[in-house]
Chains A and B, each alone.
Chain A
Amino acid sequence: VDLNLFGAGMASVATTEIPTKVLCLTEAISADQLSDDEEYVEILEDMKDECSKFGTLINVVIPRLNQDGEEISGVGKVFLEYSDTGSCANAKNVLGGRKFGGNIVNAYYYPEDKYYNRDYSA
């Protein structure tokens, strides 16, 4: 079996998705965890520590309910903004399918325009 042949095939499949600079993680955290201030800070810390290993991490956004308990979009998601798509792709490869607090994390490229408009619903 020519493994290189397979490798090439897999690579072309992987690139059909258009990379962005923003990675969105889902399934990692629950709304309950976010409502606990201490836990929220720790989660933020864990994300920053781990996710800056893949490149220049510009910002981490973890939406949570505000003081009034008002419903906002994107609660439970984690947004990782990188300086370039390459770093973002690295992060996606490593973090997707990895466990965070026992949950298997899902990672996908998030539309940059929406992210910059603080639209976390996509």
Chain B
Amino acid sequence: ESGSGKRKRKSRWADEEPKPVVQLPDFMGGIEFDPEIQALNSRLLEISRMLSSGLPLDDRPEGARSPSPEPVYDNMGIRINTREFRARERPPKLHKKLYIPMKE
């Protein structure tokens, strides 16, 4: 090897650019990592958890609630318009909003 002096010539190779480890499909980048969608998703999880837990959904204190409606019973004699039942009925609006369409 000769010409050790001119060894420091800059290489034509560009510096190595860090490549993304995983190339996600476009729709993943668009939807899954949108902070608003993430927040909505965690809210949805929380609501689902509350619904499936069977715990009282209305945490307002006794005095602050509006008066209960007249009881309604089904043909088995079980009251159907309980507070829990109505609480289940209430969120559908939000549920609809939280529905996130995913590409097939």
A→B interface (CB under 8 Å):
1, 3, 6-7, 10, 42-43, 46, 49-50, 94, 97-102
Measured between beta carbons, the chain A residues less than 8 angstroms from B13 are: 46, 50, 98-100
Q: How many residues of B contact A (CB 8 A)?
A: 14
**B3-61 at interface with A (beta carbon < 8 Å):** 9, 11-14, 16-17, 19, 21-24, 28, 32
Prevailing SS type, chain A contact patch: helix
* Identity of the chain B residue whose Cβ is nearest the Cβ of A39 in the assembled complex: B12
Give the tally of cross-chain contacts (CB within 8 A). 31
Main secondary structure of the interface of B (DSSP, over half): loop
Q: Which residues of A contact B9 (CB under 8 A)?
A: 42
Say yes or no: B23 contacts A50, CB within 8 Å.
no
Q: Are A49 and B11 in contact (CB under 8 A)?
A: yes
